[in-house]
């Protein structure tokens, strides 16, 4: 196992996978919030765990960055 130096870059955070349904009665913002909350309550996201950036998570989930930003608030 080799570890690549980061050269001043910070780790991107853990990968997060959420199942979003645009046809659901809940907004995408609420679905992202609920998914993150469920991860925290289940112990998958522990205190101090770095989340991905809003841009990165939005790209991974194929939603607008504002959706993720609002869910983080």
pLDDT band at 17 (very low <50, low <70, confident <90, very high): confident
Q: Which two tokens stand for residue 70?
A: 């609002």
Q: Grade residue 12 by pLDDT with cuts at 50, 70 and 90.
A: low
Q: In terms of Cα–Cα distance, which of 58, 39, 59, 62 is closest to 49?
A: 39
Burial of 53 from C-beta contacts in 10 A (0-12 / 13-18 / 19+): middle
Task: Quote the pLDDT of residue 69.
Answer: 97
**What digits encode the pLDDT tens for the residues 32-59?**
999 999 999 998 888 888 889 999 999 9
Average the pLDDT over 5-20 and give the result: 68
Could you tell me where the DSSP H helices lie in 1-73? 28-41, 54-61, 65-72
Average pLDDT value for residue range 13-22: 86
């Amino acid at each position: 196992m080799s570890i690549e130096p980061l050269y001043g870059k910070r780790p991107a955070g853990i990968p997060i996978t959420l199942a979003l349904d645009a046809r659901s009665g809940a907004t995408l913002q609420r679905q992202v919030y609920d998914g993150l909350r469920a991860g925290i309550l289940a112990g998958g996201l522990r205190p101090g765990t770095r989340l991905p950036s809003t841009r990165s998570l939005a790209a991974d989930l194929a939603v607008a960055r504002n959706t993720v930003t609002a869910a983080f608030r």
